[in-house]
Amino acid sequence: MKIRFSASAEAWTKWAPVLRAALPEAELARDGDPASFDAMIYAPGGDITDFAPYRNVRLVQSLWAGVERIVTNSTLTQPLARMVDPGLAQGMAEYCAGWAMRAHLGMDRYAQDGIWRNDLSPPLATDRQVTILGMGELGRAVAHMLRGIGFGVTGVSASGRSVKGVAVHPLADLVRVLGQASILICLLPDTPDTRNLLDARRLALLPEGAWIVNPGRGTLIADDALLEALDRGRLAHAVLDVLRTEPLPPAHPFWAHPGITVTPHIAAETRPETAAPVAAENLRRAMSGRPILHLVDRAKGY
């Protein structure tokens, strides 16, 4: 099995040793005759934009969970699999749980200014409702961790497919569900149906004082509508790990707004040590003709 690695030089340094250890029977290379490769490992930052010459490739395995930068490439006709990494899922769950607890406990209310605010004790997690937009692998991991803390968790997904212990609603029910979301966690993919989904009308449906945590896609929330909702005091805070432009320009109003915390796209990282075995299993499946895991639906875009 000969595999073309198409990603940045930095990624090659990190990934090559663990991929070789997970898939010792394969030859891993950064260049060569396109027709000589049986499979490809891909991440944005590599040198391939035209996949047509790679006519013998049986699988393009993405190293990223999101595939919006590649799925619309018309030259990509080979099967494409997204990365579902247990380390990535755990990292996302920890990030979301941490910010949910900060919102729930009101940690930012206790200014160190000499004032004794013992009238600001928080409710229990069982009295707080968290709503997760997007109930894929990451959304389910977040829901599991939050339910373990004691939060009531509601999910929203395009399919409305059931998840044990979580009331899951189809996207068509979003307007009704938003009114119960005191903490809203956004994990939907970037598709034409989700861009600007949280516009001024839908943001206005959230309970007064709600928090938004968005480590999913920066296109989900209409920027101007978010700023307006915060300025009006309708929303308490927004935590944004994903932005329309990354890195976020220093002059962008998000940086200076007291109701926004920007984190630099660090909520969940694909970790080579936990992801390499996933990639290796999928590549073996592709070579042996077995069903490929986490295959991307081109029509849906994820």
Which residues are the active-site residues? 217, 265
Handedness of CA 272, 273, 275, 279 (dihedral sign): positive
DSSP state string for 87-137:
HHHHHHHHHHHHHHHHHHHTGGG--SSS---TT-----GGG-EEEEE--SH
Using CA atoms, how far residue 6 sits from 2, 138, 145, in Å, is 13, 25, 34
Beta strand 60-62 with 39-42 is: parallel
For residues 90 and 224, is the Cβ–Cβ distance under 8 A? no
**Quick one: angle between helices 272-288 and 86-105, nearest 10?**
140
For residues 41 and 279, is the Cβ–Cβ distance under 8 A? yes
